Structure 1
Amino acid sequence: MAIITLTTDFGLKDHFVGAIKGTIYTELEDVKIVDISHSISPFNIQECAYLLKNSYKAFPEGTVHVVGIDSEPSPENKHIAVLVDGHYFISANNGVIGLITSEVKPDKVMEIDIPNPIQGSFPVLDVFVKVACHIARGGTLEVIGKPFAQLKELKEFAPRVSDNGKTITGSVVYIDNYGNVVTNIQKSLFEAYRNGRKFELSARNKKIGEIYNKYSDIINFDLEKSRRKGPGDLLALFNSSNYIELAIYKSDLNTVGGASTLLGLDYRDTITINFI
């Protein structure tokens, strides 16, 4: 059974997601539709790329991923279909795919050029769904487009290394359901420049000198409970996607707040690591 995933900033209040699913099922009765997320912040390319990059590999090869964010076509925002790592992505050339393929070279990148496209305000439905259903039926990319060589890369979203490798400057790319703050600094980059040195991670007025591998590592179970760190304390860890994340242990964003609110951090705010 073919699988089509949907990742959009449409939310669930309006008719958009329902119309997309209904159209897919009208075209293909025997298909599985999976929602990755419809709660991407509007037009947030980095957030969309982070969620897709860390979820698509969980699906079997051949899965078709429809990316509905900033999808209106323009001379600078062409519609593309990409085969990478055994997966198909259908998107506008707005930087999302460039961020996903920053470490994996695409096998094919095609500019979508289907006959008689509808020039409307809902290209995810009018164009992307047609292409997704074509691929899900076993169709090739060559039928729906022509080779494309200008895949957009957003260099400003990459962390910067300076001072002869002594400083890494990153930024917030995602805030999760718990209010945890995910940075764009990956464990591999951190370890490549650490060279066994101590370090100081700075976020706003907070400084951290240790990064854990899981949330509960903040607790020293050899100490009496009254002397331990625990719920409400700030920590940094390498999350399940191997990005540096800041969290308040067992905090609730809806009550006392999470790392994002308690530290005053938002999307694209700066996080700095200085090696000592």
Structure 2
Amino acid sequence: MSALTVLSDANVVAKRNIIKIKRVPDLLVFTTLSPIMFVLLFAYVFGGAISVPGGDADPELYREYLMAGIFAQTVIFGATITGAGLAEDVKKGIIDRFRSLPMAPSAVLTGRTLSDVVNNVLVLIVMSLTGLLVGWRIHTSFWEAAGGYLLLILFAYSISWVFAWIGMLVPSPEVVNNASFIVIFPLTFIANTFVPLESLPGPLRTIAEWNPVSTVTQAARELFGNIPPGTPKPTGWPLQHPELYTSIWVLVFLVVFVPVANAQYRHSTSR
């Protein structure tokens, strides 16, 4: 099949999933409630006790520091919806219906991942409005800020292909949800998402410096202009080049998991 046919079929599948968001708004509501809760919790409960470089325990400065980490955590957890959604489709027999249609097999996963990009965009809009309410501001140009959002979306999109593979490998939404929580939750906390790396002990700090969650957060902070004044320059190569390091991970995830997920799809639907 031609690339245009695959894209056309993927567009149909993506529309189907987007319509599902419209008809089941609970999915979007509960996806946004958790990060909003994190913003309010860290901004108003823990913000006064957490020091940021150059600002000590300044709640207002911490709120600006916090938002990029919340954005990163939110889009990564949003990417896990891909795996749970595919597992649910397998369980309900929707995938078997797709098999009976004259459509490109790769369009199923492509359409699913594209629709979850839309979901993440909507969540980011809600999160940005929440951030503005608690005092977060963008201090750079429009294009730099757009680059920050784009990098977050691209990183989440690449992660969604990892979970597309998991969703086809483990066709149970409950297992996918539990597995994603166990893996993603520590990854987003052993990073600079909520606290400066200087506060972490030696081994954890090294892991955090090379954690792509740290670099996508660092890149977003730089592109939004949310690096506190007086912050020392990072010592690790990944945090010195956060956009490049994050882009490398995006490419690695896509190059590895797009073919692997599609191969798993063909294997799962051939049984």
Q: Identify the structure with bigger relative contact order (alpha carbons < 8 Å, sequence gap 6+).
A: 2
Q: Same fold (TM over 0.5)?
A: no
Larger strand fraction of residues: 1
When normalised by structure 2's length, the TM-score is 0.26
Larger helix fraction of residues: 2
